[in-house]
């Protein structure tokens, strides 16, 4: 029997996305492509760059990666990801990516700062997603100041990732020709994102971009900037950094 390990399912991308009634709507009659998001290691940092003041960049994101919820079957064809659900996950991704980076650096001061920032629930409009935040609060409550801070951070990271990948399924598929396929089924882009972060934490592959300061998952050990996107020859941040350095040098020469 031949065995094939297919890591994940494909996600659909349509040509057009608009903001509907508190949700993202796709023009599902025009299909653009399907792709396997698990192979896109830039997903966590691209999600971490989104912010609720810039809806245009959110819609641009959807044009590249599809909307955040996966329309898995015909019954769910009218499912549109609600905007509050999206922002709560964007917040959560920003939080755990930053926390994972500081943990990797063993930077106690910034671990504490990151946890405290997100503890302040009343100061953010879009809190981290609800089921997670209950556990998160419990972890903080049970933590005493004598305990190792990185222990608490690991516990929070575990709780959040586990909670958010709990719906990922693994299926096997036996074809007529005797080929046996094993596949992980992800239903939302966020599940894929948390999975990618978990993998990167395990392999110590999170770094902070020299230009925009957002943590990202590296593709190679020398990488200093956020990864380039599929259609780009160079990453935006690498380009901006070079331009900035050139300008600084020119200004120095003028002085
Ligand atoms: Zn960057």
Domain ranges in the chain are 2-220
Q: Is the distance from CB of 224 to CB of 209 less than 8 angstroms?
A: yes
The pLDDT profile of the chain, 255 residues, written as one tens digit per residue, is 566 667 788 898 999 899 888 888 886 678 889 999 999 999 999 999 999 889 999 999 999 999 898 654 434 445 567 888 888 889 889 999 999 999 999 999 999 888 877 766 544 555 555 455 556 666 666 666 556 788 888 888 888 898 889 889 988 888 777 788 888 999 899 999 999 999 999 999 999 999 999 999 999 999 999 999 988 899 999 999 999 999 999 988 886
How many angstroms does the Cα of residue 177 sit away from the middle of ligand 1? 46
For residue 10, how far is its CA from the centre of ligand 1 (angstroms)? Answer: 27
Q: 21 alpha carbon to ligand 1 midpoint, in Å?
A: 32
In the reported structure, the alpha carbon of residue 241 is separated from the centroid of ligand 1 by a whole-number distance in angstroms of 9
DSSP state of 228: P
3-class secondary-structure state, position 4: strand
In the reported structure, the alpha carbon of residue 61 is separated from the centroid of ligand 1 by a whole-number distance in angstroms of 16
Distance 238 CA to ligand 1 centre (A): 8
Rounded to the nearest whole angstrom, what is the distance from the C-alpha of residue 139 to the centroid of ligand 1? 31
Rounded to the nearest angstrom, the distance between the alpha carbon of 236 and the centre of ligand 1 is 7
Between the CA of 215 and the centroid of ligand 1 the distance, in Å, is: 8
Output the CA–CA distances (angstroms, integers) from residue 214 to 37, 209, 211, 253, in the order listed.
Answer: 20, 6, 8, 31
What topology is assigned to 2-220 in CATH? Jann2411-like fold (1.10.3300)
For 225, what's the count of Cα atoms within 13 Å in the CB-facing half-sphere?
13
11 CA to centre of ligand 1 in angstroms: 25
């Amino acid at each position: 029997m031949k065995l094939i390990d297919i890591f994940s399912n494909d996600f659909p991308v349509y040509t057009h996305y608009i903001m509907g009634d508190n949700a993202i709507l796709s023009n599902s009659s025009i299909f653009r492509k399907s792709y396997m998001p698990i192979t896109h290691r830039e997903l966590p940092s691209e999600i971490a760059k989104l912010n609720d003041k810039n809806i245009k960049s959110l819609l641009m994101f959807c044009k590249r990666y599809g909307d955040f919820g996966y329309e898995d079957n015909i019954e769910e064809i009218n499912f549109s990801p609600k905007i509050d659900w999206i922002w709560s996950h964007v917040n959560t991704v920003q939080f755990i990516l930053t926390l994972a980076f500081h943990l990797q650096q063993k930077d106690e001061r910034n671990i504490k700062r990151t946890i405290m920032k997100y503890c302040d629930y009343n100061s953010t409009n879009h809190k981290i997603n609800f089921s997670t935040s209950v556990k998160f609060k419990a972890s903080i409550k049970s933590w005493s100041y004598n305990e190792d801070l990185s222990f608490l951070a690991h516990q929070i990271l575990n709780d959040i990732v586990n909670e958010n990948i709990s719906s990922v399924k693994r299926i096997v598929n036996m074809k007529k020709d005797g080929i046996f396929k094993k596949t992980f089924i992800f239903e939302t882009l966020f599940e894929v994102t948390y999975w990618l972060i978990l993998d990167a934490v395990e392999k110590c592959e999170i770094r902070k971009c020299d230009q925009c300061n957002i943590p990202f998952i590296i593709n190679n050990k020398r990488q200093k900037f956020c990864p380039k996107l599929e259609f780009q020859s160079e990453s935006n941040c690498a380009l901006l950094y070079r331009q900035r350095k050139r300008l600084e040098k020119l200004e120095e020469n003028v002085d």
